[in-house]
Structure 1
Amino acid sequence: MRYNQQKAIIDIETLSILQGKLSPRIFLGIVIEWALLHQAELRENWQLARQNQPLENIEPLE
């Protein structure tokens, strides 16, 4: 996840930050909401990435 100058690696299953840093407002307000809505798609893209396949687009948070 990259937002402005902030960057972090987030676990798809637990939605916890594995590496990097995001401000609490951004992390809780934007990232978690989006990831919860698209968790299945994130899992599918992770499997594609592990197979060096092109990723599917995931809709942004509106």
Structure 2
Amino acid sequence: MPIITRFYGIIIKMYFNDHLPPHFHAIYGEYNGVFDINTLEMTEGDLPNRAVKLIREWAELHQNELMKIWEKKVFKKLDGLK
């Protein structure tokens, strides 16, 4: 699973040819979460609230790019949250 970005100890990854809806995976230490690209809601996982807020903030900035990566199945590194 390619790593799309890292920031504040959070790793964002995406599996190609994964199940619908379009989503990405976030890992923060021992915690994991799956985020729907369209709604930016965490659909699975146990991430702390602070990490969820940071991930959503980042995803809002890159939502269109995330959807393009999902649709075209072409890996692209994205900037982390600053």
TM-score, scaled relative to structure 1: 0.81
In 1: Cα distance, 2:35 partner to 2:46 partner: 10
Correspondence for 1:22 among 44, 47, 51: 47
Residue 38 of structure 1 pairs with residue 39 of structure 2 = no
Quote the residue 2:38 is aligned against: 13
Q: Paired residue for 1:4?
A: 29
Question: Percent of pairs identical after alignment?
Answer: 32
Q: How many residues align?
A: 57
Distance in 1, matches of 2:37 and 2:46, equals: 16
Output the TM-score relative to the length of structure 2: 0.64
Higher relative contact order (CA 8 A, sep 6+): 2
Q: Larger % of strand: which?
A: 2
Partner deviation per Cα, 1:8-55 (whole Å, 9 max, x = no partner): 110001111111121111111x10110000001110111133xxxx41
In 2, the alpha carbon distance for the partners of 1:59 and 1:48 equals 19
The alignment yields a C-alpha RMSD, in angstroms, of 1.1
Task: Considering fraction of residues, name the structure with more helix.
Answer: 1
Q: Structure 1 stretches of 5 or more lacking a match?
A: none
